[in-house]
Structure 1
Amino acid sequence: MFKQVAEAQFLPIAVGLAFHEWLPGLAEDLEQPVFKIGSFLLLGMLVVILAVALPKVLTAGVLPVLGAVLFATSCLLIGHFLGGPEPESRLTIAVANSTRNAGLALAIATANFTDPGILGAIATYALFSSLAGAIYSNLYQKKLAKQEQKTQT
């Protein structure tokens, strides 16, 4: 299980931090394109998760769905308010806080459990965290674009 966590969490973060530290100019130049690619991939994953998880979500019941919605929303809010003063960092941390845990939970659960109830609950959260992250990302990017236009005029 440690290997799964290291590969999904620690390795990408360590690589990103090293890249930013050793090649800061290139990291800044790539920030917007990588952000756009990440947003596109998030929407793509939402479609995949929807296709895979929807049957499990429909059988999960009201309480797991409500719990998933509340937990996904809470994770976004926590990431948003603890994301620091930089809008891009705030957006990244909020979305990562809500979606990364779902992916990690799905990876661990599918490797270690066969109980459809566990997989259904995690799939329900993965679906709603991805959906909430995509909506939040889209709305926040529009807000940032409006603020940038006001600053330029």
Structure 2
Amino acid sequence: MRITGVMVQYYFACPRELWFFSRGLQFDSENEDILIGRLIHRESFERGWKEVLLEGAKLDVVFLDDRVRVIEVKKSSKLEEPAKWQLKYYLYLLRKAGVEAEGIISYPREGTREEVELTEEDMETLENVLKEIERVISLENPPPAEKKPYCRRCAYRDFCWV
């Protein structure tokens, strides 16, 4: 199975969510938060953005003179750390393909943007995370549920808390 940016985000948010997602349980297409996020993404699309497919990841990229900038649009900063790692994964994939890029997470509803860079330490962390993602998705049963602040909005909550 190819590891996607969404899988990296889910790993950092909740390994159990990652496990469900890896099994094809994708309720998110019906999730109100996901639908709102897609609408925000479409409305905030800036001139010059292009979608680039790289190893199964769909990146929003802006080409500025001699720079490449990857933009990740999010509905809110509530899952800031998982979103950063998703973007760092995209930067990692590009670097492995020989392309140096800058990263920006945009939160249009909050009116903020955050620059994200990929360090050598981040690359090492991602190498370990990718192995851990493979381990989680190979489990016969999902990891144990952990109560997190965003569980009540999760599309998989009924699998954890019913």
TM interval, short-chain normalised = under 0.3
Structure having the larger proportion of residues in strand: 2
TM normalised by structure 1 equals 0.27
Structure having the larger proportion of residues in helix: 1
TM normalised by structure 2 equals 0.26
Relative contact order, CA 8 A, sep 6+: which one is greater? 1
